[in-house]
Structures are given as C-alpha cells and as structure tokens.
Structure 1
Amino acid sequence: MNEATALDDDDAAPPALKARHALLKRLADVVSLPASRINAFERAVTGDLLVEMLRQASPQERRRVAARLTPLAELPDSVARLLLRDAPEVAGLLIEQCAALSDADLVGCARDAGPEHRLIMAGRRGLSEIVTETLFGFGEVETIEAVLRNSSARLSQVGIESVVALSRKQPRLCGLLLKRPELRPSGAYVMFWWCGADDRRIILQRFAVSRELMQEVSEDVFAMAADEAWSDPVSRKALQFIERRQRNRAAIEKSPYDGLEHAIAVAAQDGLSRELASEIAFLAGVKPLTGAKILGDPGGEPLAILCKATGLSRVDLLNLWRSMRRPETTTEGAVHPDLDRVQITYEILAVDRAQTVLRYWNWSLSSALTPNLLRAIREGEDDAVDEYSAPERAAMMALAEDFGR
C-alpha cells in the first residue's frame, strides 16, 4: 500500500486503536481542506489538536500524516514544527516536497534537528540564501557538498565566503565552488593558494579579468593624483591596482641590480636568499610578504603569474624556477611535469589579466594588512575583520595557515 492511500484505510489499524486512526485521518483531512472551505483560525485550531494526537502516535502514523500533508500549499505552524523535527523518514517527506514550508520553517528545522535532516534539506529545490547560509554554518562537509551541487539553491556572498574559508581544510570543495555562479574573483583568487592544478587553471581562465575599463574611466585621475603629490592614501592604493605599469621604478633606481631580469639571473646562479627574494619582490612591484607567498608556493603557478605580469620572458621564468633549485627534468630527461605545467600557465595568460591576479594578491596580502588585522590573524579573531573589506577577508583566509591556525 502506498503512502498516499495508507491513511484512508481504517481497517488497517489494530481494533483497539481504530478510533484513533480514524480521528487522525479526519483531522488530517480537515487541515488539508482548501481555503474556500476552512479559514486560517479553524485550520490552526485543528492543527493544534492534530499535534496533540501526533505526539502520542506511532512513527508509521506520523509518516502517513506527513505524506498526507506534503502536497498542501498551507500548513499549520504547530504541525510543521512537530513533523519537521521528527525522525528523518517522517520529516524528510515534508523537507523534500512540501511547498508550504517557509524559510523560517526550514531554518528552524536546520537548527533544531540533526545532520540527517540538514542533508535531506540540502537537496530541496529552490533553497533561499538564508537557508543555505544556515546549512553552511554547521560546517558539515557532506551537506555543504549537496548544497553546492543543488543548482536551484541560491547562495549568499557570506555563505560562499564561509565555504571558501572551509575549502582550505577541505580541498574537495574547491571544484564544486568553481561551478557556482555566485563565486566572485575575490573568493577565487584566495582559494587559488590551496587549490589543485586543475582548479587553478579554471580560476585563471574564468576569473583573471581585465582592468581595461577601469583604466579608461580613470585615465585623467592619475594626473590629478600626481598634482596632489599622491597625498591621499585611499586613491593612491586604488590607482596602484588600476595602473598599467607593474614594475617599481623607484625600487629599480635604488637596486644594486640592473633590473628585475638581472636579479633573477643572479638568483639562478647563486641561489635564492631571503634578501634577494625581497629585492625581486620590490623590483616586481609587490611587497615582500606577497613575494614570499608566491615564491614559497609548492605548485609553482604563481611564478608564471609574476613573470607574465611583470613582462619577464620564458628564460626569466626558467631562471626563477632554477633559483629555487626545483627539478627541471625527469630521470628520463623530459621536462619535469611541474615545470611544464608552470610554463603552460605562463603561455595561456595575458599580461593584463596576470596583473589583475597579482595586484589583487598584493592588495589583500599587504596593502590591507594593518597591524590590527595582522594581530587578528595571529590570534584567530575572525570578528576583527571588516565584513565589507574583500581584501581583509582574503588576507585572513590566505595567511591563516601561515600563522599556524
């Protein structure tokens, strides 16, 4: 017997409980009446009585009532609260199919019920931002994966950022995040640091955007800022992100090397010391912290981004690789797969798009890194991060592991 008809069969109940079963059926029928037959107050009172009976009913009876009420467009709150917190086999009928449930109903169920309920909810069609954000808040990876796979679910930026942060310890979330239309460049750029090679390629292909339009609309602002002697730090930082020139001319004039290429050539010959690494970062127009993050990356793709953004050649890329004493060939004499992957990354990137990624990294890893934020990262005080500042949030996520969190 299927669930839709089981409640209608009074003869299926044991003789001593025949009246109870019949009354459950009748009350469920009354609650199910259309608005033209019953008003909201009558439905609510009937629902209250139904709840009292359901609390003493068997799991099979509660499941039958849940199946009877699932198609309704309107459901008494008291009945919804009770059944949504029931066992998963009962609550799941409503969670999966009942259109009458509000966001408040779903959020309440997620908070008060268990992981199985939340996993069922993750597959429900049309989940709103507030519901998915609530589900993400429990940090249950299986449920988060189900939400990310749910193409009809809507995700908030707060929810996306929480999953991006979690993906640092759960890399399997990266691929699912990259398929979501809600993911923005700020999240993708910071996730790049712990993604695998395939996901990194997707990030560069999809999120390495051009700054051409920003450069066009702000072209005359550079002259204005120069007339003001670059005295405004806010506009100066923004213009540094927008401008076309990547290398630091002032650092080149003060450097003991003839230029960035010369510094890298020396590093290839003598090895990459801490001082030389800092010098290369200054010449490339990034802060030493950003340079250290790039040079210390085990995958190596950031090296390709640095070289392409600064106009370095393939030879310079090889010298930079060689300076860190990374393997260049396999035992068979072929190009090492890591080096080959980095060289391919260099080839597929346009200069302007490589600069966007590099500038964002530098912006989030250094320009936004105030003493207060640095202390917050060291101490794990996520609440100290400005919720409106994408660079600060990116720095918190990218550097948290470096500070042992």
Structure 2
Amino acid sequence: MTQASALNDEEAAPPSLKARHALLKRLADVVSLPASRINAFERAVTGDLLVEMLRLGSTEERRRVAARLAPLAELPSSVARLLLRDEPEVARLLIEQCASLSDADLVGCARDAGPEHRLIMAERRGLSEIVTETLFGFGEMEVMEAVLRNPTARLSQVGVEAVVGLSRTHPKLSGLLLKRPELRPAGAYVMFWWCGPDDRRTILQRFAVSREVMQEVSEDVFAMAAAEGWSDPVARKALQFIERRQRNRAAIDKSPFDGLEHALSVAAQDGLSRETASEIAFLAGVKPLTGAKILGDPGGEPLAILCKATGLSRADLLNLWRSMRRPETTADGGLHPDLERVQITYEMLAVDRAQTVLRYWNWSLSSALTPSLLRAIREGEDEVIDEYSAPERAAMMVLTEDLKR
C-alpha cells in the first residue's frame, strides 16, 4: 500500500470511523505543511492534538500516520516520541526513513523501547557516536554486531573499548571490530591476546606500526634526559618506549647467562624453568609479568614478536619453542601447524614494528600496573581506572581474568 492510498481510504472506512480517519489524515497533512505555510507553534499544537488521537487509535492508524510523516524534514517532537516507542512495525517507518530525527530522539527510543527497536536502529544510516554508544550500553550481541556491520555508523572510543572488552567472551565481535576504522592500536593490541590466528595476523599487519617519526623528533631529547641523570620518571618511561634498543644490556652483568641467545640455548636443552623464564624476560627488556604472559600464550605468536623485537634469529625462535616442549612435527613427520604459523609471524614482521607491539604490551602489563590498579583488577573496581590512560585500561582488560584465578 502506498503512502497516498494509506491515508486516502476514507470511503472504505466503517461509517463509525470515517470521521476519525478523515481527521487523522487532515492533521497529518497540516503537520506536513512547509514552514512557509505554518509556523513552529502551530505545527507543535497540531502535533499535540494528533498525538492525543493516535494514543487512542489502532496500531494500523498509527502506522498510516507514521508512513505519511516519515519523509518530513521537520517532525513535532511529541509525535516522534509517541511513534518511536510504538510497535516495531510502526516505529520502523520513522527509524529507517525519517532523516529529521535527532540524536536525542534516537537515544530516547533506544532507552525506552525494546531490543527489536534497537536492532532496527542499529541498521539506520548515519548513526552518530552518542547513539552507537547508547546501543552498545545494553550489551545485546545482535544489536552490537549490526552496528559494527553498519558502514555509515560512527563509533566513539568509549564504545570501541566496550566492544573490545566484550570480544573476550564473544569472539565474533573481534572480526567485526577489526574492520572498523575507529579501532586504534591500543585496542587491537589488547584484543590480540584472545583473538584467533586469522585475526591476530590482521592485527599485526594493520596495527604493528613504526616508531620512526617519534625517534626522529626525540633524538636530541635522549641526551637531555641523560644529562639530567634520567631523574624524570615520566620522560624516562616515554623514552624507553621510543628508543631503538630493545634488550636490557645492564641485565647481562647480573645474569647467569652470557646473553639472551645463551639463555634460550640452555632452556632448549634443560626445559624452561621459572627462573630461566624470568631471566629471558629481563634480558629481552621486558618485565617478568609481560614475559610470563608471552610465554604462556597458547597460540604462540607472541613468541615470534619477542624474538623479532630483540633481534633473535630463526634458530633462537626454535630454541624458545623447544624450551617449552611444544610440538615441532606432526605424526607423519611434517612441520607442526602451530610452529609453522609462529615462524610465518616472525618472517612477516619488521624489527621496529615488532618492538612497538612488545613495548606496548610491556607498558600496559607492567609499567602502568600500580598497586592500586592491581587491587582494582582483582576486585573489579573499574571506577579507579584513569579514563585517559590507555595502558591502564589495557591492563584492566587483559589481566582481569588472569589475576582472579
């Protein structure tokens, strides 16, 4: 049924409702008049009267009016509020077709209506950040997936972080989020820990960025910091992230091993003990907690990142793999798929980009891990997390499950 025929059926209406249908059509026509024919106050009063009639009318009557009003460039707020909260078949006409709806209209509908309304809204063109953030807030997977598939929807960073956190228990969200332009390296590096092999490859290809520009602009700052005796912890931490050198040379003097390669060679023969794992972490320039997370990862790709970032060879990567007693071959003597995947990861990464990923993990999993943050993670106190600190938020998402065990 067309919009014209939907409201032009006065002759077909039962005699008792003929006047009502006629009046609904006329009031809808008045509301539809251009601004040159009716001012805002007249439109609002007409809208109020229309709402009173629609409240007592049938679903079909409200659907007809919604179809008539959907194309309008200006819609009385009282009418929009009523119809958006109506049955999904009525609200859909406005949600999908009415370009004049404001963010306030959509947010109000999302909060006051039901899941079916939110699913319809998730597919609307041009959703703003505040609307998508509101939709994400309900935690409805079908709605969230629809928003992520909507190429015209815009996501806020708060909304993206919410999806990153939920992707740990809902893996389907990871693949959808990786296609979004709003996802930033901080979120991708966090999500890496629970992603599957294909998504991990996508993260490394897209988000393992170079620090070359930062190194160029801060080259002289290293000398300034050294002249100050590295006394400023803020500058020191930032420069540690930027610098080209990855290994901890000072750790060699205190280590029972001659270097990182020696530690891996011994571990390949004797097995990876807790003490050796800590030494490998120190020699590689990362904290033991970061090293433990990398070595304990079931997929193995972080091992490739650690080896490439520290300048280790393919033979060293194999020694690290052997130290953990992971399978090297299949039953028929072929290369084990897990080891093959890790070796491919090693080959695909440049040293500088691998260092960026490794240092971000170390930054978020250790440098940002203050006693208060650790306590908050264990107790689930999200409110103490600094909303402006990407590393603190990353640590919260990555370590929450680990530290509760």
Q: Same fold (TM over 0.5)?
A: yes
Greater Cα offset, 283-292 or 19-28: 19-28
- The 1-side partners of 2:172 and 2:344 are apart by 24
Is the 8 Å Cα contact of residues 289 and 365 (structure 1) preserved in structure 2? yes
Give the superposition deviation at 1:3.
4.2
Please give the secondary structure, in 2, of the residue aligned with 1:386.
coil
* Alpha-carbon separation, structure 2, partners of 1:287 and 1:174: 27
Count of residues in Structure 1 that have an aligned counterpart in Structure 2? 405
How far apart are 1:271 and its partner, in Å? Answer: 1.1
Aligned letter for 1:15?
P
The separation in 1 between residues aligned to 2:374 and 2:53, in whole angstroms, is: 58
Instruction: Say yes or no: does 1:50 pair with 2:61.
Output: no
Alignment root-mean-square deviation, CA: 0.9
The question of 1:155 aligning with 2:160 is answered no
Determine the C-alpha separation between the residues in 2 that align with 1:261 and 1:308: 13
Question: 1:401 corresponds to which residue?
Answer: 401
What percent of counterpart residues are identical? Answer: 86
The gaps in structure 1 that reach 5 residues or longer are none
Work out the CA distance in 2 between the residues paired with 1:83 and 1:213: 53
Check if 1:332 corresponds to 2:298: no
Report if the CA contact (8 A) 1:28-1:68 is conserved. Answer: yes
Amino acid at match of 1:140: E
- Rounded to whole Å, the distance in 2 between the matches of 1:85 and 1:294 is 50
Partner residue in 2 for 1:170: 170
Distance 2:4 2:138 in 1: 34
Q: What is the one-letter code of the residue matched to 1:145?
A: E
Instruction: Give the whole-Å Cα distance in 1 for the aligned partners of 2:351 and 2:12.
Output: 75
Structure 1 contact 4–64 (Cα < 8 Å) conserved: no
DSSP-derived class of the 1:46 partner: helix
The aligned counterpart of 1:312 is 312
Instruction: Please state how far the C-alpha of 1:128 moved relative to its aligned partner.
Output: 0.6
CA contact (8 A) 1:197 1:299 kept: yes
Partner SS for 1:51: helix
The equivalent residue for 2:127 is 127
Distance 2:187 2:2 in 1: 47
Q: Secondary structure at the match of 2:366?
A: helix
Distance 1:12 1:47 in 2: 25
Matched residue, 1:225: 225
Larger mean CA deviation between 329-338 and 264-273 belongs to 264-273
For residue 341 of structure 1, what is the amino acid of its counterpart? R
Aligned equivalents of 2:32, 2:111: Cα separation in 1: 27
Match of 2:243 in 1: 243
Q: Per-residue deviation at 1:2?
A: 3.0
Q: Are 1:187 and 1:394, in contact at CA under 8 Å, matched by a contact in 2?
A: yes
2:275 match: 275
Tell me, yes or no, if structure 1 residue 342 matches structure 2 residue 355. no
> What is the one-letter code of the residue matched to 1:250?
A
User: Residue 312 of structure 1 aligns to which amino acid in structure 2?
Assistant: L
Instruction: Give the residue type in structure 1 aligned to 2:92.
Output: G
Give the whole-Å Cα distance in 2 for the aligned partners of 1:395 and 1:4. 58
Q: Give the stretch that moved more between structures: 3-12 or 94-103.
A: 3-12
Partner of residue 211, structure 1: 211
- Map of 1:382 onto structure 2: 382
- Quote the Cα distance in structure 2 between the aligned partners of 1:259 and 1:83: 71
Q: Superposed, which structure 2 residues align to 1:101-116 within 5 Å? A: 101-116=101-116
Counterpart in the other structure of 2:193:
193
Aligned match of 2:9: 9
Residue 76 of structure 2 is aligned to residue 76 of structure 1: yes
Q: Is 2:5 the partner of 1:21?
A: no
Partner AA of 1:302 in structure 2: P
Give distance in 2, aligned partners of 1:58 and 1:14: 14
- CA-CA distance at 1:9 after TM superposition: 1.1
Q: 2-side partners of 1:297 and 1:271: how far apart?
A: 17
**Offset at 1:12?**
2.6
- Using the TM superposition, give the Cα deviation of residue 203 of structure 1 relative to its aligned residue in structure 2, in angstroms: 0.6
Query: For residues 37-80 of structure 1, what are the alpha-carbon distances to aligned partners after superposition, in whole Å with 9 as ceiling and x for unaligned?
Result: 11100000000000000011111111000000000000001000
Once the two structures are TM-superposed, the CA of residue 172 in structure 1 deviates from its matched residue by 0.6
CA distance in structure 2 between the aligned counterparts of 1:36 and 1:404, rounded to whole angstroms: 65
CA distance change for structure 1 residues 4 and 279 in 2, over 3 Å: closer, same or farther? Answer: farther
Per-residue deviation, 1:253: 1.0
Q: Deviations over 1:89-119 (max 9, x none)?
A: 1001100110110000000000100110010
Q: What is the distance in 2 between the residues matched to 1:84 and 1:270?
A: 68
Q: Distance in 1 between matches of 2:290 and 2:90?
A: 53
CA distance in 1, matches of 2:149, 2:39: 40
Pairwise CA distance, 1:403? 2.3
Cα distance in 2 for partners of 1:252, 1:177 equals 41
Q: Counterpart of 2:388 in structure 1: which amino acid?
A: Y
What is the CA deviation profile of residues 109-136 of structure 1, one whole-angstrom value per residue up to 9, with x for unaligned ones? 0010011001000111111111111111
Q: Distance in 2 between matches of 1:189 and 1:227?
A: 34
**CA–CA distance in 2 between the matches of 1:174 and 1:396?**
18
SS at match of 2:138: coil
Letter in 2 for 1:79: V
More displaced, 270-279 or 233-242? Answer: 270-279
Q: Following the alignment from structure 2 to structure 1, what is the Cα–Cα distance between the partners of residues 11 and 257?
A: 95
C-alpha separation between the residues in 1 aligned to 2:399 and 2:64? 53
Q: Is the 8 A contact 1:85 1:113 kept in 2?
A: yes
Cα deviation for residue 11 of structure 1 reads 1.9
TM-score (ref. length: structure 2): 0.99
Encode CA deviations 1:243-277: one digit per residue, 9 max, x unaligned.
Answer: 00000011111100011111111111111111111
Give the CA deviation at 1:8.
1.4
Matched residue type, 1:330: T
- Aligned-partner Cα distance in 2 for 1:150–1:299: 31
**1:156-210 deviation line (CA, Å, top 9, x unaligned):** 1111111111111111111111111111100111110011101110110111000
CA distance in 2, matches of 1:213, 1:4: 62
Cα distance change on mapping 1:379 and 1:239 into 2, 3 Å: same
Query: CA shift at 1:17, angstroms?
Result: 1.1
Cα distance in 2 for partners of 1:17, 1:218 equals 78
